[in-house]
Structure 1
Amino acid sequence: MAAGIRSAGRAGAAREARPPLGRELLLVAALFLVYMAGRRLATGHESRALHNADRIWELERAVRLPGEGLVQRLLLHSEPLVHTANTYYAAVHFPATAAFLVWLYWRRPAHYLWSRRVLTLLTGAALALHLLLPLAPPRMLAAAGLVDTARVYGPSVYGAAPGTDSLANQFAAMPSLHFGWALMVAIGLIRACAGRWRWLWLLHPLVTLLVVVSTANHYWLDALVAAVLLGGALLSVRAPGRPFAMAARPAGASR
């Protein structure tokens, strides 16, 4: 039995071999540059983006999705809450995803490779959709009657007019990568961790969803499409097994 466990441990360690750090840093940096270049390539198209926004708004009402304004009105009852939501939108997206990948790299290398590949597929599909379907966010849509909370209350990540912003594509609402990445962070951590408390990671995509909608940066459908694209990416990349520390627990051990 002990020999079998030691053998399984060596096999598990082999499966958990950490990829070279230099290679991963270069790869992630290259992917980030491609991501930013793709977003800049998709800028402009203001008339198409506003026309598509009208169609998305009408579609949501036709299928009786709750109005984004319902969530925003709850947010606007408290100015500190608005500031918190705007800060969450501006400051959590990239750092949370980076921290997720760094932790997986050091503690769960096989899960890191899986998560990095899934995020790459998701982001690539999202960039393609940004090019095919430029979409103005609800904060730009007059029919929505929503407040641009970042512009009015701050802080804002958008420092220029939508058509002239060289750092971000403000007509890339569909899909919401804020929500898609947050959902993958939760799924990846639930898969890589043990214990019942790991399910609390689902609070991250839930809070992100409420934030992106209440700040008028995304429609409900933006999050739904992101979830569908993530589902396709998850089906395309084989998931790793459970970490050895959990998998090797004797069958009779308490859980």
Structure 2
Amino acid sequence: MNARTEPAEKGTSAIARPPLVRELLLVAGLFLVYKFGRQLATGHTGEALHNAHRVWDLERTLHLPGEGAVQSVLLHNDTLVHLANTFYATVHFPATVAFLVWLYLRRPAHYVWARRVLATLTSAALVLPFVFPLAPPRMLAATGLVDTAKVYGPSVYGPPTSDHLSNQFAAMPSLHFGWALMVAIGLIVATRSRWRWLWLLHPLVTLIVIVGTANHYWLDALVATAMLGIALALIHPPHRTATTAGRGQSQLTPEKQPVLVGAGR
């Protein structure tokens, strides 16, 4: 699963990398928007809990598997649930940063594509808490789920009433899952190793963790997947085109991007 074993694509070196300082500022801005943007939609506790009941009932109507089935597996072993909480708290940001850094160094054209997709997904996801605030299942007594982070640790959240660093009523969509899925898709598209499909284990483990720790509903991940699908449909990955006739070489060229993401350059 080590993407570094994949040799650089022919012609990749011909693609100028975006200026490093500019990219650092853009990516830092993306993470700050993600971290602090949702706080603007705080103060909807009653509505968020009401929507949580609606989501829980809808999942039962759709006959989706109960989140409790996943959590019960984790709760069989204290070490396992502690690892799940640690994964939730520590893997999300570093994995995405490592993904972007690797693409920037090894696949510049794919880096620009992936950064635009992540920026579009994140920006769109920030709208939902304003129109549909949602309490996570760990806050909903009707689910019968345990707040594993609070009970077993480690926890990244404090009491909702005093937590000024995050909006805990922004469960939908799950950017934990959306970003993890994009990391896997990006590495599958950017590399050609026959083992590259194993990167799908990253969003799979993320899905098990976010549901098993009662931080997200299944529908949170499904909505994130749908939003990512729309972003990928609008923002195309780079493709190989022939260079000078007779050379038999190829290079990666970015697709023309829609005006929608022009501001993310």
Q: Could you tell me the TM-score, scaled by structure 1's length? A: 0.89
Shift of 1:182: 0.1
Shift of 1:40: 1.1
The yes-or-no answer on 1:96 pairing with 2:95 is yes
In the other structure, the counterpart of 1:4 is none
Name the CA distance, whole Å, in 2 between partners of 1:89 and 1:44. 25
Amino acid at match of 1:236: L
Shift of 1:195: 1.5
In the other structure, the counterpart of 1:163 is 161
Q: Does the 8 A contact of 1:108 with 1:243 survive in 2? A: no
In the other structure, the counterpart of 2:126 is 127
Shift of 1:248: 4.8
Amino acid at match of 1:18: R
In the other structure, the counterpart of 1:60 is 59
- Listed as ranges, the gaps of 5+ residues in structure 1 are 1-7, 250-255
The yes-or-no answer on 1:192 pairing with 2:212 is no
Write out aligned runs for 1:149-160 (5 A): 149-158=148-157, 160=158
Give the secondary-structure state (helix, strand or coil) at the position aligned to 1:120.
helix
The yes-or-no answer on 1:79 pairing with 2:86 is no
- The answer to which of 67-76 and 34-43 deviates more is 34-43
In the other structure, the counterpart of 1:173 is 171
Name the CA distance, whole Å, in 1 between partners of 2:215 and 2:170. 10
Q: Does the 8 A contact of 1:53 with 1:137 survive in 2? A: yes
Shift of 1:242: 5.4
Name the CA distance, whole Å, in 1 between partners of 2:147 and 2:10. 54
Q: Does the 8 A contact of 1:186 with 1:205 survive in 2? A: yes
Shift of 1:37: 2.9
Give the secondary-structure state (helix, strand or coil) at the position aligned to 2:145.
coil
**Cα distance change, pair 131–243 in 1 and its aligned pair in 2 (3 A):** farther
Q: Does the 8 A contact of 1:192 with 1:243 survive in 2? A: no
Amino acid at match of 1:19: P
Equivalent pairs counted in the alignment come to 237
Give the secondary-structure state (helix, strand or coil) at the position aligned to 1:222.
helix
Amino acid at match of 2:120: L
Give the secondary-structure state (helix, strand or coil) at the position aligned to 2:216.
coil
Give the secondary-structure state (helix, strand or coil) at the position aligned to 1:163.
coil
In the other structure, the counterpart of 1:209 is 207
Shift of 1:30: 2.1
Shift of 1:87: 0.4
Shift of 1:33: 2.4
Kindly indicate which of the two structures has a greater share of residues assigned to helix: 1
Give the secondary-structure state (helix, strand or coil) at the position aligned to 1:228.
helix
Give the secondary-structure state (helix, strand or coil) at the position aligned to 2:162.
coil
Q: Does the 8 A contact of 1:44 with 1:163 survive in 2? A: no
- Deviation readout 1:26-58 (Å, 9 max, x if unpaired): 111222222233111122211000000000000
Name the CA distance, whole Å, in 1 between partners of 2:241 and 2:224. 28
Shift of 1:238: 1.7
In the other structure, the counterpart of 2:108 is 109
Q: Could you tell me the TM-score, scaled by structure 2's length? A: 0.86
Moved over 3 A (4+): none
The yes-or-no answer on 1:237 pairing with 2:235 is yes
Name the CA distance, whole Å, in 1 between partners of 2:166 and 2:241. 38
Shift of 1:243: 10
- The answer to which of 125-134 and 180-189 deviates more is 125-134
Name the CA distance, whole Å, in 2 between partners of 1:79 and 1:138. 20
Shift of 1:70: 0.6
Shift of 1:161: 1.4
**Cα distance change, pair 9–199 in 1 and its aligned pair in 2 (3 A):** closer
In the other structure, the counterpart of 2:256 is none
Amino acid at match of 1:125: A
Q: Does the 8 A contact of 2:36 with 2:165 survive in 1? A: no
